[in-house]
Amino acid sequence: MAFKRRVFVSFQNPELLDTRRRELQDQVIKRIEALGLQPEMFFQAGTASSMAWSLPNAVEILRRCVGAVVLAFPRWEVSSNTQEPYHLASEYAHIEGAIAGTLRLPLLIVAERGLADRGITWTGAGHPILYMPKDAPVTWLDGDAFRHRFGVWSDQVAERSDVFLGYSSKARATAQAVHLFLKERLNLRVRNWEIDFAAAGMILDEIETAARVCSGGVFLFTKDDELSGTEVKAAPRDNVVFEAGYFAAAKGRERVLIIREEGAKMPADLGGNIYLSLSARDDIRPIESAIRDFVERRL
């Protein structure tokens, strides 16, 4: 089964919406699916459908997504003695939108006009908000305003990569085989350091960018530098070890896969990471099913 990219959808419980709003929400979700993306919705769709909502679960699911959409409809009316009553979106819209923003995911916020300038619908938060009229019909989604914003967001999602591939130049042939498997067999968008890093760019800047736009990383720890005075004969390149450590900190250890050539030293600080043992660097077939399992379970 080919990998399907995930998009988190912060939605309102359909039972709390009237028919018009429910149809609007359903049609936005269908347009996301039409892009070949998998909506992640608690109790409704994707991996999140079988999970109870909690803050840790929301963070976990959003970390696996390449973008997020917040559909903000009126949920609460707030009254006070000093001003007219105003309406707020649900608490989930605010929390999930904040997580998406913190993770720097491409974020599309569609809010019904009349919602208070608070939380996720606060115009000063730094994310453009597309306001729909209070009485917007489903055909509003065919108008220029929605089509433009949806197009900008989908382009931002398309620019993201699913996995970063890090390795030394000595392991180029092995990396090419892994890259081909990830791309052709698993339908992943791979960011390959040798291909995608800017020629004159700073390495640390490139790694920071890769960690921001990729959902996870695959790193080849091969026998590159000979060691003396130890039982282990060789170690992976320092820069590859650094990149793996950086990704483990930025994305979480569970989203970093280390493919370790037999006989290569494994740094103690990365010993808790997921890793596969590669007996022959010219043949990755024995580990292909394990790579697939990592992608399906972790990305």
The pLDDT assigned to 12 comes to 95
Q: Tens digit of pLDDT for each residue in 94-134?
A: 999 999 999 999 999 999 999 999 999 998 878 899 999 99
Q: Provide the pLDDT for residue 79.
A: 86
**Which pLDDT score, from 0 to 100, does residue 228 have?**
61
Specify the 3-state DSSP secondary structure of 200: coil
The domain spans of the chain are: 6-158, 162-298
Q: What CA–CA distances, in Å, run from 92 to 12, 41, 51, 169?
A: 8, 11, 15, 46
* Per-residue pLDDT at 272 exceeds 60: no
The pLDDT score that the predictor gives to residue 298 is 87
Contact 251, 211 (CB under 8 A): yes
pLDDT of residue 127: 87
Are 244 and 260 spatial neighbours (Cβ–Cβ below 8 Å)? no
Chain-centroid distance of CA 210 in Å reads: 12
| CB contact at 8 A, 100 and 120 | no
| Res. 218 pLDDT band, cuts 50 70 90 | very high
What pLDDT, on the 0 to 100 scale, is given for residue 173? Answer: 94
Give, in order, the Cα–Cα distances in Å from 262 to each of 46, 280, 287. 37, 8, 13
DSSP 3-state of 115 = strand
Residue range 41-57: mean pLDDT, rounded: 96
Ramachandran assignment for 205, one of left (phi > 0), alpha (psi -120 to 50 degrees), beta (any other) = alpha
Strands 6-10, 38-40: pairing is parallel
Assign 46 to helix, strand or coil: coil
- Is residue 247 within 8 A of residue 211, CB to CB? The reply is yes
Using one digit for the tens of pLDDT, what is the confidence trace for 64-78? 999 999 999 999 988
CA-atom Rg of the chain in angstroms: 22
Q: What percentage of the chain exceeds 90 in pLDDT? A: 71
CATH 3.40.50.10140 is held by the domain 162-298: yes
For the cut 80, the answer to whether the pLDDT of residue 81 exceeds it is: no
Predicted TM-score of the model (pTM): 0.86
Over residues 37-51, mean pLDDT: 96
Q: How far is CA 199 from CA 176, 192, 195, in A?
A: 19, 13, 9
Q: What is the spatial distance between Cα 90 and Cα 112, in angstroms, rounded to a whole number?
A: 12
**For 162, phi and psi rounded to 5 degrees?**
-85, -40
Which pLDDT belongs to residue 123? Answer: 84
At residue 299 the predicted structure's pLDDT band, cuts being 50, 70 and 90, is: confident
**What's the average model confidence in pLDDT over 217-242?**
79
Does the pLDDT value for residue 136 go beyond 90? yes
CB burial readout 105-138, b (16+ within 10 A) else e: bbbbbbbbeebbeebbbeeebebebebbeeebee
What's the pLDDT band for 199 if we cut at 50, 70, 90? low
CB 136 within 8 A of CB 178: no
Mean pLDDT, residues 250-263: 90
Asked if pLDDT for residue 290 goes beyond 70, the answer is yes
The two domains 6-158 and 162-298 share their CATH topology (first three levels equal): yes
- Domain spanning 6-158: CATH superfamily: Toll/interleukin-1 receptor homology (TIR) domain (3.40.50.10140)
Alpha helices by DSSP H, the chain = 19-34, 55-63, 91-102, 144-158, 172-180, 193-196, 203-213, 238-251, 288-298
CA distance 206 to 213: 11
- The pLDDT of 127-144, averaged and rounded, is 95
Cα separation, 90 vs 76, in Å, equals 7
